[in-house]
């Protein structure tokens, strides 16, 4: 096994949360809120959360979404390869609306489908009574997004001029 530890890491002058749970059983999901609380108490502000391949599933996505309310400085969220479906994506999207500094969302290889894409499109689309999103990069490769979800994302992009990079497929 590797010697990488869970928790804070300083990379290029920014606070990053990297999980040592990558590739471990889903039981590690139950420790996520505790790990995030520990991390937030040691290093502030959290700017990146990198949980690629941690098998979070929808339950972990829900817990992470609840914890994101306190991560006002979060800029990058990488949740690729976590088994997140539309239900988990919807929970995250509710948190994205209040995470005002978020600029990069990576959800590759999950399975959010059309329903998750539609929820994300709502976040990306500027609305008069909703804070304008700062998100400039979105990665959604390998999520089973069909025509309905792709259309919703396309409509959001027509109104959102901040998106510089979108990866789907």
Q: 169 lies in a domain?
A: no
Q: 125 lies in a domain?
A: yes
Q: 78 lies in a domain?
A: yes
Model confidence pLDDT, tens digit, residues 150-165: 999 999 999 999 999 9
Q: 104 lies in a domain?
A: yes
With a threshold of 0.85, does the pTM exceed it?
no
Q: 168 lies in a domain?
A: no
Domain that holds residue 49: 7-160
Residue 138, number of CB atoms within 10 A of its CB: 22
Q: 19 lies in a domain?
A: yes
Does residue 82 contact residue 61 with C-beta atoms inside 8 Å? yes
Model confidence pLDDT, tens digit, residues 33-73: 676 666 666 656 789 999 999 999 999 999 999 988 777 88
What is the pLDDT confidence band of residue 128, given thresholds at 50, 70 and 90? confident
CA–CA dist 74, 64 (Å, integer): 12
Mean pLDDT (whole number) for 77-89? 99
CATH code, 34: 3.80.10.10
Q: 1 lies in a domain?
A: no
What is the pLDDT confidence band of residue 6, given thresholds at 50, 70 and 90? low
What is the pLDDT confidence band of residue 10, given thresholds at 50, 70 and 90? low
User: What's the number of domains the chain is made of?
Assistant: 1
């Amino acid at each position: 096994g590797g010697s990488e530890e869970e928790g804070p890491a300083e990379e290029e002058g920014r606070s990053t949360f990297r999980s040592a749970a990558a590739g471990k059983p889903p039981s590690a999901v139950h420790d996520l809120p505790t790990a995030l609380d520990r991390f937030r108490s040691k290093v502030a502000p959290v700017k990146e959360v990198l949980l690629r391949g941690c098998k979070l599933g929808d339950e972990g996505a829900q817990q992470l979404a609840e914890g994101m309310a306190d991560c006002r400085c979060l800029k990058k969220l990488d949740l690729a390869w976590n088994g997140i479906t539309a239900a988990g994506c919807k929970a995250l999207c509710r948190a994205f609306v209040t995470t005002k500094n978020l600029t990069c969302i990576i959800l590759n290889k999950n399975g959010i489908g059309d329903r998750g894409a539609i929820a994300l499109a709502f976040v990306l689309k500027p609305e008069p009574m909703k804070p304008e999103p700062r998100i400039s990069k979105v990665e959604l490769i390998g999520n089973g997004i069909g025509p309905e979800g792709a259309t919703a994302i396309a409509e959001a992009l027509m109104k959102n001029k901040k998106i510089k990079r979108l990866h789907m497929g």
